[in-house]
Amino acid sequence: MRGMCGMNSQFSRTRRGRFNRFFALAAFSSAMLTGIAGINSAFAQTAMPVSANAIQVAGNAGPTPAWIAFCAQMPEECTYDASEPARIVLDQTTWKAIVEINERVNDTIIPVTDQDHWGVADRWDYPGDGLGDCEDIQLLKRRMLTEKGLPHRALRMTVVIDELGAGHAVLMARTDRGDFILDNKRKAVLPWQETGYRYVKREGSDNAAWVWLGNQAAPIVTATK
């Protein structure tokens, strides 16, 4: 899928001016992980989510060409380990880590299209320079969560169609309470049914292949300010 993330290709001067505030990936990841221990005590009261349904799969799918190129560069990120749990056992500690890392990465990485960043339509990579589009942001979240001990096998890159009809990448956390979505478009980590997206495909949990999600539509959610 080309042109993912549905972002405006113009990268504003305001956002460019923020670039110097960010670290290279190694320092950035380390600093944020260290900072988790010192989060505001109010966040410790984050309620556990209501259980969600697990999304249904509909057979093997081909990955995007940009994913294949990413795996050639970083094969360790695309390997399948059957010894890992396919689902996260969700408790207060793991939920807190998921919610905080989603929010902190969203607040730190400057969104920019691959065209503006690299001069190509679609490239999957880590946002080591503090810039990235949707899939880059989700890949960083996964790396940070696995560094916290969550199973890589349960954190699946997922392609959806967003509210604008554009391709978009999110991270699906598969848990014993259902499937939840980490997204750079919102702070909240939502059950997949509550995002308003149409689900196309994701990395498989039973082998290295991607799987179709049957173009399943999540109901449109209305919210008040």
Chain segment 154-166, per-residue pLDDT in tens: 999 999 999 988 8
Summarised one tens digit per residue, pLDDT across range 108-138 is: 999 999 999 999 989 999 999 999 999 999 9
Residue type, 189: V
Supply the CATH number for residue 195's domain: 3.10.620.30
**Is the pLDDT at 37 greater than 80, yes or no?**
no
- Mean of per-residue pLDDT scores for the chain: 82
Residue 177, domain member (yes or no): yes
Residue 39, domain member (yes or no): no
Residue 173, domain member (yes or no): yes
Q: State the pLDDT at residue 110.
A: 94
Q: Whole-angstrom Cα distance, residue 96 to residue 151?
A: 16
Contact indicator for 208, 181 with CB cutoff of 8 Å:
no
Residue 48, domain member (yes or no): no
Which pLDDT band, with edges at 50, 70 and 90, does 102 fall under?
Answer: very high
Beta-ladder partners of 191: 180
**Domain count for the chain:** 1
As given in the structure block, the two tokens for residue 95 are: 């939920």
Residue 202, domain member (yes or no): yes
Which pLDDT band, with edges at 50, 70 and 90, does 31 fall under?
Answer: low
Q: Whole-angstrom Cα distance, residue 79 to residue 33?
A: 24
Residue 2, domain member (yes or no): no
Contact indicator for 127, 25 with CB cutoff of 8 Å:
yes
Q: Whole-angstrom Cα distance, residue 10 to residue 30?
A: 30
Among candidate residues 213, 208, 120, 209, the one with its CA nearest the CA of residue 170: 213
Residue 106, domain member (yes or no): yes
Q: Whole-angstrom Cα distance, residue 199 to residue 210?
A: 13
**Is the pLDDT at 39 greater than 60, yes or no?**
no
Residue 201, domain member (yes or no): yes
Poorest-pLDDT segment among 17-31, 47-61, 85-99, 183-197: 17-31
Summarised one tens digit per residue, pLDDT across range 57-101 is: 988 998 889 999 999 999 989 988 999 999 999 999 999 999 999
C-alpha to C-alpha distances, 186 to 10, 63, 69, 116, 165, nearest whole angstrom: 21, 25, 28, 22, 17
Which pLDDT band, with edges at 50, 70 and 90, does 177 fall under?
Answer: very high
Poorest-pLDDT segment among 35-39, 61-65, 174-178: 35-39
C-alpha to C-alpha distances, 179 to 50, 109, 133, 174, nearest whole angstrom: 11, 24, 23, 5
Q: Whole-angstrom Cα distance, residue 33 to residue 157?
A: 21
**Is the pLDDT at 221 greater than 60, yes or no?**
no
Domain with 102, as residue range(s), is 54-79+86-217
**pTM attached to this predicted model:** 0.80
Q: Whole-angstrom Cα distance, residue 8 to residue 10?
A: 6
